[in-house]
Amino acid sequence: MFAFSSLAGPSLALADEPASDLGGVVVTATRTEQSQAGTLAAVTVIDRSEIERLQPQSVADLLQGTPGLSLANNGGPGKATSLFLRGTEADHVLVLVDGVKIGSATLGQPSIQNIPVDQVERIEIVRGPFSSLYGSEALGGVIQIFTRRPRGAFEPSLSLGYGSNASFRGAAGLGGKVGDGWYAVEATHENTDGINACRGKPSPRGAGCFVDEPDRDGFRDSSVSLKGGYRFNEEWDADAHWLRSWGYNEYDGSSSNQSDVVQQVAGARVRWRPNRTVTLALSAGQSADLSDDYWNGAYAGTFDTHRDLGSLQGDLALGGGLWSLGYDWQRDRVDGSTDYAHDRRLNRGVFAQWQQTFGTQSLQASARRDDNQQFGGKATGSLLWGWDFASTLRLTASAGSAYKAPTFNELYYPGYGSPTLRPESSRNYELGLRGTPAWGLWSLNAFENRIRDLIAYDASVGLPGNVERARIRGAEAVASTTLAGWALRGTATWLDPRNESAANRDKLLPRRAGRSARVDADRSFGAFSVGASLYAAARRYDDLANTRRLGGYALADLRLAYALDRVWQVQLSVRNALDKHYETVAFYNQPGRTAMLSVSYRPAP
C-alpha cells in the first residue's frame, strides 16, 4: 500500500525537497534531512508514485490503513474527518503543509477533507510523541504533507474524472526549472452530489446530528497553489509557497447545515549554508481556517481562525554528530460571530537536539521549553536509540514526553467550554525491530503511552472534560515484498486505548478501532496494471461510557489502469466494491459502492 520506511524520527518541517531529489531522505522526524534507513522513530512515507497507483479520492482515503491510524468521518466526501494516531485524540496529531502548521484554533484539528489529494507530492507520517521538537499537539505523531514540485525543465499535467454520485474531479498544473530557480502552479476542482450524511434523531431524545434530513449532502471544492524557489549561490537559497482551497459543504445539523469554507496556507524560507558544517534557516508562515455557516440558506455564523508562525533554526555538524538549536513563535487568533472570553494566544518555544552515530549504534536526544500565554511553561524531552546488530536488522528503543494545549472551543465556547481545563501531558515508551532482507522489508513496533488530563469529548453529555488518566498500549506490523510479479504490502495494528479515570475506569476511548489491517496487491501486465486493497477494522465505541457500539467492517477496493502511450493514461477505481454498510461515527453514513473513471496527461520529466 505504501512506500514504507519504519523506525524513524522528527525533522526540519521547513525542508521542502521531494523524495526524488533527496534519494530517500525524510525531514519530519528530526527537523533535519535524514535518510529513511537512518531514522530511529516509526515513519511511513507515501510518495507520488504510490498516490497515482492507489487512485485515492481524498487525503483521508490515502491515509486509511496507515499503521496506528483510525479515521472517523461525519458523512462522506468533504465532511469533517478526524485522525486518531496510536489511539490518541483527534487533536493530538500535528499536521504540516510544506512546513506550516495547519488546523483550526477553535476545533483543534486540521480540515484534511479540504486538502486536494491531486496537489500532494509526498506525505511523511511520524508516529510517537514529538512535542520536544514541535511543541503542542504532537502526542500521537506528526503528519507532513508536501505539495507538488517539478523534477524536470518543463512539466505540464492534466487529469479529469467522473464517477458515482455525479462526482467530478479535475486538475491541471504547470511547473519546471529555469536556471537556478523553479516554479509550480496547480489548480484543482471537485464536486459531488454526495450521500445522506446523517440518519440523526431529532430532540428531545436526539442523537447524531439531532435532525432527520434524508437528502443528499453535496460538496464542492476548488484550490490553487503557487510555489517557487531560487538558489542565489552556493550559500544562499530561498523558497515560498501559497495554497488556497475554497468550497461549499452541505451536511445535516440542528443549528446549521451549509458552510462556505476556506483553507489557506502560506510560507517562505531563507537558508544559509556557508559550508558543509553550518546551516541556518529562517522561516515565516500563516495558516487560516475560515467558515461561514448557514441554515437552509440563512446566515448562521462565522468561525475564522488564523495562525501566524515564525521559526529560526541552526544546525551544526560537530564531533561526528549533528547539533540543532531553534526558536519557534506562534500566535493563534479567533474571529467571528461568537464572542470568546479570550480570542488571542501566543506561544514561544526553544528546542535543542543532538544526533550521533557510534559505530553500529545511534542516538537522538531532544528537549524543548514552551511558554504559553494561557497556561504558562511546559518542558518536554525525548531520547531515541538504535542498534544495527546485523547487516539487515535494527533494534530501536525510545522514551519521550509530550503535551497538548486546550483549544479555544474547549476553554471558552459559550455553553460548552471550561476555562479550568488543564493541558494534557503524556509519557511514551517504545521498542521496535526492523528487517531489510533481500525479499523486501518488515518492521514491528510496540509502545505504551500514558496520558494525564486527557481532554475527551463525551457524546453522552455533549461536553469535553479532563480524563484523569488514560493508558494506550499498541503494536504495529509492516511488511512488503514482491511475489510472482505481484507487489504485496501489508500493515496490521493492535490498540488497547483504556480510560483509567474513576468515572469510566477500564472503558475504551471512543472512535478508535482496537484492531485494523490492510493488504494491497498490484501487478503490471504490459500497458495494463491491476490492483486491489482489503481494509478491515474491528468494532469501536462512540462514547466514553462504551454504551454505543460501532461494529467492525471490511472494505475491498479495486483499481485498473491502462497506459495509452507514454503520456496518456486511463484509470478506473472502485471503492467499497462489496457495498458494505458501516459507520465510523454513530448515525453518520458512509458511501456504499462508488466508481471513478479518469484520464490523465503527464509527460515524463
Give the C-alpha separation, 67 to 86, whole Å. 8
Burial class (CB in 10 A: 0-12, 13-18, 19+), 462: exposed
Average pLDDT over every residue of 478-484? 96
In the predicted model, is pLDDT for residue 21 greater than 80? no
Predicted confidence band of residue 4 (pLDDT cuts 50, 70, 90): very low
Closest by CA to 250, choosing from 351, 173, 165, 319, is 165
Asked if the bond preceding 156 is cis, omega within 30° of 0, the reply is no
Give the C-alpha separation, 301 to 255, whole Å. 10
pLDDT reported for residue 457: 67
The three-state (H, E, C) secondary structure of 292-342, written as one string:
EEEECCEEEEEEEEEEEEEEEEEEEEECCEEEEEEEEEEEEEEEECCCCCC
In the predicted model, is pLDDT for residue 18 greater than 60? no
- Angle subtended at Cα 304 by Cα 300 and Cα 310, rounded to the nearest 5 degrees: 175
Predicted confidence band of residue 462 (pLDDT cuts 50, 70, 90): low
Asked if 139 contacts 402 with a C-beta cutoff of 8 angstroms, the reply is yes
In the predicted model, is pLDDT for residue 477 greater than 90? yes
Predicted confidence band of residue 460 (pLDDT cuts 50, 70, 90): low
Asked if 158 contacts 174 with a C-beta cutoff of 8 angstroms, the reply is no
Question: What predicted TM-score, i.e. pTM, was given to this entire model?
Answer: 0.94
Average pLDDT over every residue of 469-487? 96
Predicted confidence band of residue 23 (pLDDT cuts 50, 70, 90): very low
Asked if 407 contacts 444 with a C-beta cutoff of 8 angstroms, the reply is no
The CATH number covering residue 532 comes to 2.40.170.20
**Sign of the Cα pseudo-torsion (305, 78, 113, 562, in order):** negative
Q: Per the structure, how many domains does the chain have?
A: 1
Give the C-alpha separation, 508 to 475, whole Å. 16
**Sign of the Cα pseudo-torsion (584, 589, 590, 592, in order):** positive
Asked if 219 contacts 191 with a C-beta cutoff of 8 angstroms, the reply is yes
563-601 per-position pLDDT tens digit: 999 999 999 999 999 999 999 999 999 999 999 999 999
517 to each of 12, 422, 478, 495, 581, how far by Cα in Å? 30, 35, 10, 12, 18
C-alpha cell at 503: 468515572
Closest by CA to 485, choosing from 528, 525, 440, is 525
Give the C-alpha separation, 359 to 146, whole Å. 33
367-392 per-position pLDDT tens digit: 999 998 888 889 999 999 999 999 99
Give the C-alpha separation, 509 to 540, whole Å. 9
pLDDT reported for residue 422: 84
Query: Cell numbers 474491528 correspond to what residue?
Result: 538
Closest by CA to 442, choosing from 476, 474, 473, is 476
The domain in which residue 251 lies consists of: 3-601
The region that residue 546 occupies, defined by phi over 0 for left and psi between -120 and 50 for alpha, beta otherwise, is: left
Amino acid at 188: T
In the predicted model, is pLDDT for residue 12 greater than 60? no
256 to each of 103, 247, 294, how far by Cα in Å? 21, 16, 5
- Give residue 58's Cα distance to chain centre: 12
User: For a pLDDT cut of 90, what percent of the chain falls above it?
Assistant: 82
pLDDT reported for residue 374: 80
Give the C-alpha separation, 409 to 84, whole Å. 19
Burial class (CB in 10 A: 0-12, 13-18, 19+), 520: buried
Burial class (CB in 10 A: 0-12, 13-18, 19+), 547: exposed
64-119 per-position pLDDT tens digit: 999 999 999 999 999 999 999 999 988 999 999 999 999 998 988 899 999 999 99
- Angle subtended at Cα 562 by Cα 556 and Cα 566, rounded to the nearest 5 degrees: 140
Give the C-alpha separation, 33 to 20, whole Å. 14
Q: Hey, how many other C-beta atoms are within 10 angstroms of the C-beta on 393? A: 13
137-190 per-position pLDDT tens digit: 999 999 999 999 998 999 999 999 999 999 999 999 999 999 999 999 999 999
Predicted confidence band of residue 461 (pLDDT cuts 50, 70, 90): low
C-alpha cell at 213: 434530513
pLDDT reported for residue 547: 92
C-alpha cell at 240: 515560498
Asked if 183 contacts 55 with a C-beta cutoff of 8 angstroms, the reply is no
